[in-house]
Amino acid sequence: MKLGTTLGAALVASVSWASMAAAQTELSLWYHGAGNEAESTALQLIIDDFNASQSDYTVVVESFPQESYNDSVVAAALAGNLPDILDVDGPVMPNWAWAGYLQPLDINEGVIENFLDGPKGYWGGELYSIGFWDAAIAMMSRQSTLDALGLRTPTIDSPWTGDEFMAALDAAKASGDYDFALDLGMPWTGEWYPYAFSPFLQSFGGDIVDRSSYATAEGALNGDAAMAFGNWWQSLFADGYAPGTSQDPADRDTGFIDGKYAFSWNGNWAALGALEAHDDVLFLPAPDFGNGSYIGAASWQFGVAATSENAEGASAFIEFALQDNYLANFSNVTGLIPATSTAAAMTDNYAEGGALEVFFGLSEAQALVRPVTPGYVVFAKVFEKALADIANGADVADTLDAAADEINADIEANSGYGH
Amino acid sequence: MAAINQDNRGLRLIVRYAVLTLIAIIFIFPVLFMVMSSFKPNLQLLRDTSSLRAFLPVGDISLDNYYDAFRRAPIGLFVFNSVLVTGVTVLLSLFFCSLAAFSFVYLNWKGRDLALTIIIATLIIPFETIAIPLLLFVSKLPWIGLEGIEIGWLDSYHVQIIPWIADGLTVFLFVQYFKDLPGELIEACRVEGASWWQIYVKVVMPLSGPVIATAAILKFLVMYNQYLWPLIVVQQETYRPVLVGLQYFFQLNITWGEIMAYLTIVTIPVLAIYLVLQRAFIASIASTGVKG
């Protein structure tokens, strides 16, 4: 009798476990962070907590190398093999939404009310993706440099004007203490060019495309403001202020630390390394060339695949992950800027008095997302080529006209990209 | 006069060795840079690039990059995957392509020349142009696995092997080599009553050492350096090969020392294969005029 009872209980227990396991739906998640142990650990913590918090879903992650992640996703989309949840680079999101890879997120938008603008991925008036963090760029310099050159320290509320910035470069150049006054990171090809340099164009009053309609680049990329930007851009190299496209990549990594450059246009990911080398490093806001100070915004974000049959669970996971403690933990292990001020207050670097606090302020005050259009993935390459050509001495007007024509042709070939 | 000739000969030897040494140095420097850099911390590595120190084991030397590289990526798994996929593909390719070539050279069948022309014509088609159609094709193919019939070959070893078994270059190499074998020998075998299979196994293939070595090395290099195809057909880390694994090291702050350590490790199988097949490789270049 006793044996029978025990066996019966064991049977009931196994059936219960089996049915619980059967009831749990697996949610596949693709992430771009393969090879980044810290990010993988932070993400796994969220997944473990989510899996333990409910019994309907189990999230299983597959990590991909960032460099080839987009190609893997596009190939999987073609083969009909997308996961439930995937992360997407902010400026690429509209393209994936337009191409039918993503569906709108079904989360309580009240949760993201206090998020920075950069991590919020809207397309066509709907939220498609949301990020845990953002990245920001600053003009790195040293207090000792500003003092030696007799320059005022710009602030977010009072950035350098274009004239002040050029005066700073002149002073650095005239001092003879540096190989070049300014390091722009010209060897970092690819997305760096539109991310880092299009804010200068926008500060001049131009843009990569006319954002009022997204139907043309005419006037935005080759109008008077863009021409002024192009001439200024070319002068940086022609007049010897900055190394051009042939800059040694090693100098990009170590030149500022080694004192070869007075100013370096670089991201928050390089900030801690600079601070380790020199304790008086400053992170200055972007100069204002007449139409405001801007830096790029939008980093990696999470979305739900259009083909997911478990969109409810996928959105539930994403909403679960947006808690401040997770955002703060991600920031602590990656060094990136948490998406909310409340999470920032919980971090080592971005809390009040933290070494990188200024970057949160920069993201809040100066961040401007790149053109929110499916065509951006093409426009970005056109823009990159135009800027490299101008830096190498190409005629500014001809180059910008050709770039605008190429973008317009692409918009037309894609029937306006759904705008 | 004899003394002058002797001097000239000595001078020629010196010049020849000087030139050969220079060429050897040019070819060995990238490898030397890779290996030396793999022992240096990132900042030192970047600073050394502007001097000859880049090629010397100087400064802060350690195995830290190797330790960190193994922490960052499952290198053993990637090397195993590449060696497995490459090894199986090379063996199957040698077998099927040599069989095809044997058929083209020795058997008479209708449409033989046209079929050979079409196969050789595929040499001019870059893989990139057929990658997407091939992806769509293999993603719909059935496969009998441990859990029964599955649809789609993605995320597997066989999707990295089967499409690469047959290729025009390997067939062409075997065809050219088989044509040069003495026809009388084959005829004599037929007269003696040997089957075509016996002739292939016992006569033709044993005489084809140089072309087998050439085809094997060329195929090995193609397969071990696979990037685009596994990138688009493999989503699971379990099946990733070494070159896709290299991408694990390109993060926001690139650690070049770890990259060099990784490259040094994944180069070992290539060097091992070369050392094993060195004699056959050189002989095959001399006999076929094909360079790797």
CA distance A133 to chain B (A): 14
Q: A269 and B50: CB-CB below 8 Å? A: no
Q: Which residues pair with A180 in a beta bridge?
A: A261
Asked whether residue B57 is assigned to any structural domain, the reply reads no
**Residues B135, A75: C-beta atoms closer than 8 Å:** yes
For residue A247, give the nearest of A192, A198, A184, A197 by alpha carbon: A184
Task: Work out the minimum CA distance from B40 to partner chain A, whole angstroms.
Answer: 14
Interface touch B235/A62, C-beta < 8 Å: yes
> Could you give the CA distance from residue B226 to residue A58 in angstroms, rounded to a whole number?
34
- Does residue B236 sit at the A interface (CB-CB below 8 Å)? yes
| Nearest in space to B142 (alpha carbons), one of B164, B158, B125 | B158
Inspect the interface and report whether the beta carbons of B235 and A64 lie closer than 8 Å: yes
The residues in B 54-83 lying below 8 A from A, measured between CB atoms, are 71-73
Q: What is the pLDDT of residue A1?
A: 42
* Residue B34 confidence class, pLDDT cut points 50, 70, 90: very high
Does the interface predicted TM-score (ipTM) exceed 0.85? Answer: no
- For residue A253, the chain B residues in CB contact (below 8 A) are 42, 46, 254
Domains A23-134+299-369 and A137-296+375-418 share a fold: yes
Tell me whether residue B169 is in a domain. Answer: yes
Interface size between A and B, measured as CB pairs under 8 A = 77
| Sequence ranges of the domains in chain A | 23-134+299-369, 137-296+375-418
B243 touches A: beta carbon within 8 Å: no
Distance CA B159, CA B233 (A): 7
What is residue A22's predicted lDDT score, i.e. its pLDDT? 53
Q: Which two tokens mark B72?
A: 């960052």
- Domain membership flag for residue B104: yes
Which of A35, A66, A79 lies at the smallest CB-CB distance from B73? A35
- Which helix (H) or strand (E) segment is A227 a member of? helix A224-238
Q: Kindly tell me if the per-residue pLDDT of B292 is higher than 80.
A: no
Selecting from B152, B154, B244 the residue whose C-beta is nearest the C-beta of A68 gives B244
- For A139-172, write each residue's pLDDT tens digit: 999 999 999 999 999 999 999 999 999 999 999 9
Q: What is the pLDDT of residues B62-73, one digit of tens each?
A: 999 999 999 999
Instruction: Provide the CATH number for the domain around residue B157.
Output: 1.10.3720.10
Interface test mutation site (partner A, options B48, B72, B237, B252, max chain A beta carbons within 10 A) = B252
Domain containing residue B132: 74-249
Asked if B247's CB is within 8 angstroms of A35's CB, the reply is yes
Put simply, the answer to whether B247 touches A273 (Cβ < 8 Å) is no
B96-108 average pLDDT score: 96
**How many domains, in total, are found in chain B?**
1
Nearest to A248 by CA among A179, A200, A196: A179
Helix, strand, coil shares, percent, chain B, to 5 = 75, 5, 20
In angstroms, the separation between the Cα of residue B72 and the nearest Cα of chain A is 5
A299 φ/ψ angles, rounded to the nearest 5 degrees: -115, -145
Domain presence at residue B114: yes
- Please indicate whether residue A343 or residue B255 has the higher confidence score (pLDDT): A343
Residue B267 lies in a domain: no
Contact B168, B215 (CB under 8 A): no
Residue B1 is assigned to a structural domain of this protein: no
Distances (CA, A) of B212 to B93, B98, B277, B292: 10, 9, 11, 14
CATH of domain A137-296+375-418: 3.40.190.10
DSSP β-ladder status, A300-305 and A102-103: antiparallel
Q: Which residues of chain A are modeled with pLDDT < 50? A: 1-3, 7, 11-21
Burial group, residue A11, by CB count within 10 angstroms (0-12, 13-18, 19+): exposed
Which among B46, B71, B250 has CB closest to A254?
B46
Overall fold of domain A23-134+299-369? D-Maltodextrin-Binding Protein; domain 2 (3.40.190)
Q: Does any domain span residue B173?
A: yes
B131: nearest CA partner in chain A: A75
B75 to chain A, minimum CA–CA distance in Å?
A: 11
In chain B, residues with a C-beta closer than 8 Å to the C-beta of A65 are: 244-245, 247-248, 250
